[in-house]
A and B are shown apart, each in its own frame.
Chain A
Amino acid sequence: MASPTTTTTAAGTLVLAPPRPFAEREWVRVMARLVRRRTALFGLVVVAAVVVAAVFASVVSPFDPLAQDIGQRLKEPGWQDAQGRIHPLGTDHLGRDILSRIIHGSRIALSVGLAAVMISGVLGMAVGLVSGYFGGRVDDFFMRLADIQLAFPFILLAIAVIGVLGPSLRNIIIVIGVSSWVVYARVVRGEVLSIREREFVQAAVALGSRDWRILARHVLPNAFTPWLVVATLDMARVIVIESALSFLGLGVQPPTPTWGGMLADGRVYLSTAWWLATFPGLAILVTVLGINLLGDGLRDTLDPRLKV
Chain B
Amino acid sequence: MKAYLIRRFWQSLLVLLGVSVVVFFILHLTGDPAALLLPPDATAEDIEKLRAALGFNDPLPVQYLRFLRGAVQGNFGESLRHGEPAMSLVLERLPATFELAGAGLFIALSLAIPAGIVSAVRRNKPIDYISTVVALLGQAMPTFWLGIMLILVFSVRLGWFPSSGRGDIEHLVLPAITLGLFTTARITRLTRSGMLEVLGQDYIRTARAKGVSEPPVVWKHALRNASIPIVTIVGIELGTLLGGSVITETIFAWPGVGRLSVQAIFNRDYPVVQAAVFLLASTFVIVNFMVDVMYTYLDPRIRFR
Report which A residues bind B (CB closer than 8 A). Answer: 144-145, 147-148, 150-157, 159-161, 163-165, 236, 240, 243-244, 247-250, 260, 263, 266-267, 270-271, 274, 277-278, 280-281, 284-286, 288-289, 292-293
Chain B, residues 271-295, CB within 8 Å of chain A (1/0): the string is 0010011001110110000000000
Partner of A151, one of B36, B262, B281: B281
Partner of A288, one of B140, B243, B265, B266: B140
Beyond A151-B284, A274-B152, whether A289 also contacts B140 by CB under 8 A is yes
Q: Are B148 and A156 in contact (CB under 8 A)?
A: no
In the assembled complex, which residues on chain B have CB atoms less than 8 Å from the CB atom of A285? 137, 140-142, 145
Q: Does B117 contact A (CB under 8 A)?
A: no
The 8 closest A-B pairs by CB, nearest first: A153-B243, A281-B145, A148-B18, A163-B265, A289-B140, A288-B140, A151-B281, A147-B15
Measured as residues with beta carbon below 8 angstroms from the partner, the interface class of chain B is 35 or more
Beyond A153-B246, A156-B280, A164-B36, whether A244 also contacts B144 by CB under 8 A is yes
In the assembled complex, which residues on chain B have CB atoms less than 8 Å from the CB atom of A147? 11, 15, 18
A-B contact pairs, 24 of them (CB 8 A): A148-B22, A151-B239, A153-B277, A156-B246, A156-B261, A157-B277, A159-B246, A159-B262, A161-B26, A163-B266, A163-B268, A165-B29, A244-B142, A248-B250, A267-B251, A270-B148, A270-B152, A277-B148, A277-B152, A285-B140, A285-B141, A288-B140, A288-B141, A289-B140
Q: Does B77 contact A (CB under 8 A)?
A: no
Task: Output the least CB separation between B184 and chain A (Å).
Answer: 16
Bound CA span A222–B16, Å:
35
Q: Does B180 contact A (CB under 8 A)?
A: no
Task: Output the least CB separation between B103 and chain A (Å).
Answer: 17
Bound CA span A278–B258, Å:
24
Q: Does B206 contact A (CB under 8 A)?
A: no
Task: Output the least CB separation between A244 and chain B (Å).
Answer: 6
Q: Does B156 contact A (CB under 8 A)?
A: yes
Q: Are B137 and A155 in contact (CB under 8 A)?
A: no
Q: Does B255 contact A (CB under 8 A)?
A: no
Bound CA span A278–B276, Å:
32
Nearest A residue (CB) for B281: A151
Q: Does B107 contact A (CB under 8 A)?
A: no
Task: Output the least CB separation between A234 and chain B (Å).
Answer: 13
Bound CA span A285–B142, Å:
7
Q: Are B26 and A160 in contact (CB under 8 A)?
A: yes
Q: Does B247 contact A (CB under 8 A)?
A: yes
Bound CA span A292–B245, Å:
23
In the assembled complex, which residues on chain B have CB atoms less than 8 Å from the CB atom of A240? 142
Task: Output the least CB separation between A151 and chain B (Å).
Answer: 4
Task: Output the least CB separation between A137 and chain B (Å).
Answer: 14
In the assembled complex, which residues on chain B have CB atoms less than 8 Å from the CB atom of A243? 142, 144
Q: Are B281 and A163 in contact (CB under 8 A)?
A: no
Partner of B243, one of A155, A165, A263, A286: A155
Task: Output the least CB separation between B155 and chain A (Å).
Answer: 9
Partner of B277, one of A160, A288, A292: A160
In the assembled complex, which residues on chain A have CB atoms less than 8 Å from the CB atom of B15? 144, 147-148, 151
Bound CA span A271–B158, Å:
12
In the assembled complex, which residues on chain A have CB atoms less than 8 Å from the CB atom of B19? 148, 151-152
Q: Does B204 contact A (CB under 8 A)?
A: no
Nearest A residue (CB) for B21: A148
Beyond A153-B280, A236-B140, whether A263 also contacts B239 by CB under 8 A is no
Q: Are B273 and A144 in contact (CB under 8 A)?
A: no
